Amino acid sequence: MPNEYATGERLGSMSTPSQPTIALMSWGELFEDFFDTIGVSLEAFSNELTGGWLFNYIEALQLAGVRTVLFFVSARVSETFRFTHAATGATVCVLPAPKIHCAVRYYSTHFPVLPGLKASLGSYLATPLNSLARELRREGCNAILCQEYEYPRFDVCVLLGQLMRLPVFATFQGGNTPQSRFERPVRPLALRAAAGLIIATKTEIERVHTCYGVPLAKIAHIFNPTDVATWRAFDRSEARAVLGIPIDARVVVYHGRIDLERKGLDVLVDAWHRLCCERPSKDLRLLLVGTGSDAEELRRRIADKQLRGVMWVDEYVRDRTAIRRYLSAADVYTLPSRREGFPVAPIEAMACNLPVVAADASGIPDILEGGEAVGGVVVPRGDATALALALGRVLDDEAWGRELGKRARCRAEECFSLEAIGKQLRDVLLSQ
């Protein structure tokens, strides 16, 4: 199979790095399964992608003196290769997908007589253990950190860690997907055998402790890091001039994946419709930034309701400066999600002096613990009326919105900085 990705440096001999090194394993099966949906190739990932949970972790660990090697698996490469991520300098290692995994995906797709084959078995076959073990040794990794523990790759990595005598940790970033027939008996064993879990939310800590019997001593309560030094607001007037937004308009912004059910964008559509109907004389703008698998459905719903004031940047925006400009042009940020792990997007908005109106998905009550005292308003998930009322309160009182934004910035600086979280992560990951 020829490589589709031509970028990257072929593997050669390399010495074990003197710096402590963590292997960061992505969730899911193949690189292209997720990144194809947002139009990001491996080359674009290497040269353009910045920010978000993944790179914030890498940068936080760098500040704490820890090197990170990021691992992906792809069916579009025939041999292992690595490259350097442009923005962070982190090593990215891409492993070819096992042939048996590709075969299972093929047969489960083309032969529906085998229902659930891919979900039950294919995910466990997606990690090339021999190749991964070889590269872990080559890179001198001291521990493995999995992006999600509610996923088969974590179970497989725990087994590999036992064989290699490497500690395996995992974070929770919103997985908690329905378990297949293979996962149900394996997951509790893997969780208890892991060296530790890093969880940002109190509710998730309690769930894992109760459902799986994981001792609280093995769970570290650590927030996701955010580069609050970089995420600062531009001048609002200048940002609006660039984007063509009138200075007297009242603007709500959302940036993230376009996933109607998970991100609650259907709720936002209904809430926006109500907001506009109740304020016919006001210039209201809804600034949406992002794309995803539900882009066409969202476009249909916007047209069906004849929503006014919607400005949609229908692309995966990789430029942090551009995202800061969108945030700086707004009066309030909203996150109507039904499911999250510990979302980075609202913290980025808070760092840009924006008040946040968000649904009470996992992570939000922790980020906005204290509510209005820390610059946020939390509403029930799936409740368009409550979302519209909360957004309306902020939009109708400009002075109060600015005060909430100042409080939000203070909260971001005190609780989510790269420096503070990096030290906590180092202490946990290198404790064994």
Whichever domain contains 366, its CATH number is 3.40.50.2000
What integer pLDDT is reported at residue 263 of this predicted model?
A: 97
Instruction: Check whether residue 24 and residue 103 sit in a common domain.
Output: yes
- Over residues 130-154, the mean pLDDT reads 95
Of 109 and 316, which is predicted with more confidence?
Answer: 316
**Which of 169-183, 268-282, 315-329 has the least mean pLDDT?**
169-183
Count of domains forming the chain:
2
Instruction: Check whether residue 137 and residue 247 sit in a common domain.
Output: no
Instruction: Check whether residue 186 and residue 334 sit in a common domain.
Output: no
Instruction: Check whether residue 411 and residue 422 sit in a common domain.
Output: no
Instruction: Check whether residue 35 and residue 128 sit in a common domain.
Output: yes
Instruction: Check whether residue 206 and residue 144 sit in a common domain.
Output: yes
What integer pLDDT is reported at residue 178 of this predicted model?
A: 58
- 213 assigned to some structural domain: yes
- Over residues 138-147, the mean pLDDT reads 96
Of 40 and 334, which is predicted with more confidence?
Answer: 334
Half-sphere exposure of 143 (CA within 13 A, CB side): 21
Instruction: Check whether residue 305 and residue 166 sit in a common domain.
Output: no
- 286 assigned to some structural domain: yes
Instruction: Check whether residue 70 and residue 218 sit in a common domain.
Output: yes
pLDDT at residue 5 greater than cutoff 60: no
SS3 176: coil
Q: Which residues are CB-neighbours of 345 under 8 A, at least 6 positions away?
A: 255, 256, 333, 335
Instruction: Check whether residue 30 and residue 139 sit in a common domain.
Output: yes
pLDDT at residue 8 greater than cutoff 60: no
Q: How do residues 68-126 score in pLDDT, each as one tens digit?
A: 999 999 999 999 999 999 999 999 999 999 999 888 887 777 766 555 555 567 789 99
Best CA proximity match to 402, nearest among 379, 368, 367, 375: 375
Q: How do residues 391-407 score in pLDDT, each as one tens digit?
A: 999 999 999 999 999 99
- 91 assigned to some structural domain: yes
Domain coverage including residue 245: 236-415
What integer pLDDT is reported at residue 105 of this predicted model?
A: 81
- State the chain's mean pLDDT as an integer: 91
356: left (phi over 0), alpha (psi -120 to 50) or beta: beta
- 230 assigned to some structural domain: no
What integer pLDDT is reported at residue 104 of this predicted model?
A: 83
- 257 assigned to some structural domain: yes
pLDDT at residue 319 greater than cutoff 50: yes
What integer pLDDT is reported at residue 359 of this predicted model?
A: 98
CA angle 409, 410, 416 (to 5 degrees): 85
Q: How do residues 327-352 score in pLDDT, each as one tens digit?
A: 999 999 999 999 988 888 999 999 99
- Over residues 21-50, the mean pLDDT reads 90
What is the share, in percent, of the chain residues with pLDDT greater than 90?
Answer: 76
- 4 assigned to some structural domain: no
What integer pLDDT is reported at residue 252 of this predicted model?
A: 98
Q: Which residues pair with 219 in a beta bridge?
A: 197
Instruction: Check whether residue 181 and residue 314 sit in a common domain.
Output: no
Instruction: Check whether residue 116 and residue 52 sit in a common domain.
Output: yes
pLDDT at residue 22 greater than cutoff 60: yes
**Which of 41-45, 187-191, 294-298, 321-325 has the least mean pLDDT?**
41-45
CA distance 346 to 156: 32
Q: Are 95 and 71 in contact (CB under 8 A)?
A: yes
- 264 assigned to some structural domain: yes
Instruction: Check whether residue 336 and residue 267 sit in a common domain.
Output: yes
